[in-house]
Amino acid sequence: MFDKVLIANRGEIACRVMGTLRRLGIRSVAVYSDADARAAHAALADESYSIGPAPAAESYLKIEAVLAAAKRAGAQAIHPGYGFLSENADFAETCARAGIVFIGPPPEAIRAMGSKSAAKDLMEKAGVPLVPGYHGNKQDPKFLAAEAKRIGFPILIKATAGGGGKGMRIVERQEDFAQALASAKREAAAAFGDDRVLLETYLKQPRHIEIQVFADSHGQAVHLFERDCSIQRRYQKVFEEAPAPGMDPARRAEMGAAAVAAAQACGYVGAGTVEFIAEGNHFYFMEMNTRLQVEHPVTEMITGHDLVEWQLRVAGGESLPCTQDQLTIAGHAIEARIYAEDAARDFMPATGRLARLKLPEQSTHLRIDSGVRQGDGVSVHYDPMLAKLIVWDRDRPSALARLRAALSRIEIVGVTTNVPFLAAVAAHPAYGAAEIDTGFVPKYLTELMTAPAPASDEVLAVACLAELLHRRAEAVSAARKSSDPHSPWHDTAGWRLNVDTHSRLAFLDGESEVVVTVHYRAAGYRLALNGKEVSASGELGEDGAMLVEFNGHRFPAAVVRHDGDLVVLLRGATHRLHLADPLEAVADEAEPVGRVAAPMPGKVVQVLVKPGDTVRRGAPLIVLEAMKMEHRLTAAADGKVTEVFYAPGDLVEEGAELLILEDGGVGGDAK
């Protein structure tokens, strides 16, 4: 076993690997970019080293910088995590030349499976079933268009060099193929440095089933059963579970044998995942990920084995800890990925600072893998995943109940997250009934994106209490510092001469104003809101935690002050209220009608219009690349382009005005 291991990654996976290293008594070494100088993984490691500027290409993807840190630290091995250099054969070879063990498969296996087209050729020879399509090397657009027509629409375009939904497009019609191909190639080139693609028949109601495989250097290989990863958005996984619902033992054995055959066909060593697409009674090979997967915890939960420990032992030359007949399934596990993203805006990644981060406590039934802490920033430079919530229980219904409960206990303020979306999926009857396929999210999107409900009486009462208790605390503090601590100017009991003791609070709930009249009482307050009167009292903690009594009902809540608003956290829901200041000047903040702004920081990839063009509503205007994905900005209404402020290659900040689109008649030449 090794004495010291460097983790060539960041965030959640770096912290997770360090947990196993610490348990085994192995010293951990972290690397960090300028943006991650104060990150959790850098602080958690036994020692850490700076490797360059914030962009991944200048730090985490810079092989020489990572190896220099390993040599300086005296690390014997490097764990690549997932993403970044984890499937880079050149990196694995460079480690070997430097005398450092790469905790992953041999470079030859990475190369064999790193190209989806080459992998399909290898799988075809090994007898593993493939989806009908084209996976050759010829990349001429006209040839690919002809192949697409031969295969038949709908067609799926996929980057040969990567995954995560990058460089992937579904094309329904022949006339849309050229544009989709160009976009997929651009995105693939930006994400993987390789714009080659393959074509496949698009299966309309498939399930995404993957098999965890492990092989050692002594010729032994096993599978650790399957995971269902069908719940996806933008071709990226959101929920994963093991075992797959409805999987019978015969199909499990058949798919497991095919996965092991795939691993052995490329001389595999270490942890890997063979991904299949399944529809009806058939399953087809998609790709093999030559690394540990994001969703590996659900496999660990149902098997009781630490897969990172297995990686370390196999990389150190040991045999696999178990044979196939010694591996068993116990219970059911589900993982939900918590992202900084706005589900209502097509899952657009979000940035900001985590003003509050409170996750459920871990237990035998609940695990949290995270690489961020309260106060950390979420930047545009890296993947926006904040944490993974993994639950386990004796069966799927019990695990699902734990998942729903755990999601309701998450408190995050400062960045928009997908937690409400995750809760909506977990609560959906079709998900509860395991009626799932890769089209689940698009099919039920309208139901999963319910508009925020108006603030309830309880929410308004909590916000009022938070403000009143905050004012009282400030008054007490001022009195302690005052030369006259008994001055009536420090009193917050609402006392007035010859009149009822009351005050008025006005909240903006979205676009609606809600006025609450507060009547002061000896024990708490009487609130007049929404045409009724209620009693309320409470205690406010330093972190915004509250114990509230509302009409004789006591419950916990929390209120966080953020960007001038009161954010109320109650029973798993988040409500943002703005407390109107009567002394505020009302500024005219109306934006120009035709203002098209960048929804987030990024790089302009394409400008599809020029001044003078007329466009119809929904027409594409600009393609922006951010967080490794392309985002197409479209016209919100018919109009005429009068000015364009940026060109391809320009970097833009969030909110930057990209172009002006004036209202006006649209003629027949509109785009």
Torsions phi, psi for 412 (to 5 deg): -130, 125
Task: Report the distance separating Cα 263 and Cα 285, nearest Å.
Answer: 12
Closest residue by Cα to residue 529 from 583, 577, 582, 586? 577
End-to-end alpha-carbon separation of the chain, Å? 63
* Full DSSP string of 438-491: TTHHHHHHHHHTPPPPPPPHHHHHHHHHHHHHHHHHHHHHHHHHSS-TT-GGG-
Residue 391, amino acid: V
Q: Tell me the torsion sign for CA atoms 308, 312, 317, 318.
A: negative
Instruction: Judge whether 426 and 336 are in contact, CB under 8 Å.
Output: yes
Instruction: Judge whether 635 and 583 are in contact, CB under 8 Å.
Output: no
Catalytic residue, chosen from 10, 227, 291, 576, is 291
- The conformational region for residue 331 under phi > 0 = left, psi -120 to 50 = alpha, else beta, is left
Token digits of residue 287: 């790709």
Three-class SS string for 16-33? HHHHHHHHHCCEEEEEEE
Task: Report the distance separating Cα 41 and Cα 297, nearest Å.
Answer: 19
Token digits of residue 401: 């109940």
Task: Report the distance separating Cα 647 and Cα 650, nearest Å.
Answer: 6
Closest residue by Cα to residue 270 from 23, 30, 77? 77
Closest residue by Cα to residue 393 from 450, 333, 336? 333
Instruction: Judge whether 65 and 51 are in contact, CB under 8 Å.
Output: yes
Residue 305, amino acid: H
| Maximum pairwise Cα distance, the chain | 94
Task: Report the distance separating Cα 257 and Cα 225, nearest Å.
Answer: 10
Token digits of residue 260: 């092991």
Closest residue by Cα to residue 139 from 130, 131, 148? 148
Task: Report the distance separating Cα 350 and Cα 416, nearest Å.
Answer: 6
Closest residue by Cα to residue 201 from 246, 135, 257? 135
Active site residue 227: no
Q: CB-hemisphere CA count at 13 Å for 310?
A: 28
Task: Report the distance separating Cα 159 and Cα 195, nearest Å.
Answer: 7
Query: What residues act catalytically?
Result: 291
